[in-house]
Amino acid sequence: MGNKFAIGQIVFSVPRDKRWSNPRNVEITSIGRKWIGIGKDRFDKDTMLVDAGKYPSPAKIYLSEELYKNETEINKRWRKIVNDYQYRTPSKLSLAGIEKIEKIINGEPV
């Protein structure tokens, strides 16, 4: 990911299962080649997932709460688009419009 981290930096931890824990700010306590320490836990620098050994990660780390909320909103809106237009093409969509959408999805300039 190429993120820069510093001891004392605050990051945002979001549990996979929010029934048992709430999203919260956590402080970076140590930095290694692969792992970043956050108290008694650690997360992978590249995947931003908290280590759970051979089990699924219990949480994902975001650089800020704002980035987490932004990702959540993008996912919500994307699911709505996919669900609303899953079986039909919008009647006012032109070929030029679909080409713009493809460029946006592929990260190309529009």
pLDDT digits (tens, 9 = 90+) for 26-72: 999 999 999 999 999 999 999 999 999 999 999 999 999 999 999 99
Does one domain contain both 58 and 16?
yes
Q: Is residue 88 part of a domain?
A: yes
- Residue 27's closest CA among 46, 5, 44? 5
Whether 58 and 23 map to the same domain: the answer is yes
Same domain, 52 and 97: no
Number of domains in the chain: 2
- The residue whose two tokens read 């709505």 is 80
Long-range contacts of 14-17 (CB under 8 A, 24+ apart): 14/59, 14/60, 14/61, 14/62, 14/68, 15/58, 15/59, 16/56, 16/57, 16/58, 16/59, 16/60, 17/58
pLDDT digits 0-9 by tens, 87-107: 888 889 999 999 999 999 999
| pTM confidence score | 0.81
The pLDDT of residue 47 is 96
| pLDDT above 60: residue 1 | no
The DSSP letter of residue 83 is H
